Amino acid sequence: MQYTFTDINSLKIKLLVIMGVSALLYAVVFLFFTMLIPYNLTVKKQKDVFFRRVQFFTGLVSFFSAMLFYIGEFLVRGWEPKMDPDYSMTMISDLLSFVLIASAVSLVIYVSTFWLIARFLRSIVGYKPWTVFVSNSKIFGLF
């Protein structure tokens, strides 16, 4: 089967789904990492919440960078041999320009997945992931 220009929207959806699912899995993995950092009770300044936030933002930045600069293009180039040669250049440039949007959407999925699990599945994942978003009863401990 060859992709023609009429398939461009389905390819964009495919790209979006792959990146979205990756974001979801990535969020679950990093949420698991935040669960590994133990609660600490200490007379010194607490660091465990800070480390969880570092993990969360590391996941976020690394995922966005990977999607934007590597994965997106990797997927598009992977589809290139199956594209109709007459339209491949146009399709690739269209798809590559869509990578930014797809990455941004997957970023939202990463954050919202993390937030939703931390917020609503506390009985399973515990309270640690939630401290990434809220500590001292304030958003990021600040607002």
Partner 1 sequence: MAENNSVQYFLVAAGGTGMRCLQSFINLAAVGMFKGISKVHILLMDTDEENKDKRNAENLVKAYEKLFSSAKDAPGAFFKCELVLYPFVPDYSKDTRRNFIILSQLERGNSDVNHKLANIFFEDSVQEFDLSHGYRAQTHLGSYLMYHAFIEEIRKSVQDTVYGVNSQLYKFIDAVSKANNTEARIFSFGSSFGGTGASSIPVIPRAISDCTKLISGGAIKTDNIYYGGVVLSSYFKFKAPSDAEKKKEKVIANSQFFNHNSASALNYYVNDYTISKTYKRLYLLGWPSQYNVDLDQYKSQTLNISQDQKTITGGKAQENPAHVIEIFSAAAAHHFFDQQFTSSNSLKDTHTTQFKYKSLMLGGGENAKMVVDADDIIFRMSKGANTTSGENVIPEHEELRKNLIAFYSIGALVHSEYKGNLMGLIDDLKLYNSTYDVNPEVLESFSFFLNYFTLIPKGDDGDGYLPGWLNQVFFTFEPQADKDFLELPNRFFGLDPSNWSIAYPELSKKAPKNAFVKRFKKLHKNAGGSFGELVDNLRETFYSFKLDSRVILQEE
Query: Residues interacting with partner 1, by CB under 8 A?
Result: 38-43, 46, 49, 122, 126-127, 130-131, 134-137, 141
Minimum distance from CB of 20 to partner 1 (Å)? Answer: 30
Six-digit token pair at 110?
Answer: 């990463």
- CB nearer to partner 1: give 66 or 125: 125
Minimum distance from CB of 44 to partner 1 (Å)? Answer: 9
- CB nearer to partner 1: give 6 or 137: 137
Instruction: Report d(CA 16, CA 29) in Å as an integer.
Output: 20
Instruction: Report d(CA 86, CA 83) in Å as an integer.
Output: 8
- CB nearer to partner 1: give 47 or 77: 47
- CB nearer to partner 1: give 39 or 74: 39
Nearest in space to 132 (alpha carbons), one of 2, 19, 32, 20 = 32
Minimum distance from CB of 117 to partner 1 (Å)? Answer: 16
Q: Which distant-in-sequence residues (6+ apart) come within 8 Å of 136 by Cβ?
A: none
Minimum distance from CB of 127 to partner 1 (Å)? Answer: 4
Q: If you ran DSSP here, which 8-state letter would residue 6 be given?
A: G
Q: Locate tokens 């992977």: which residue? A: 78
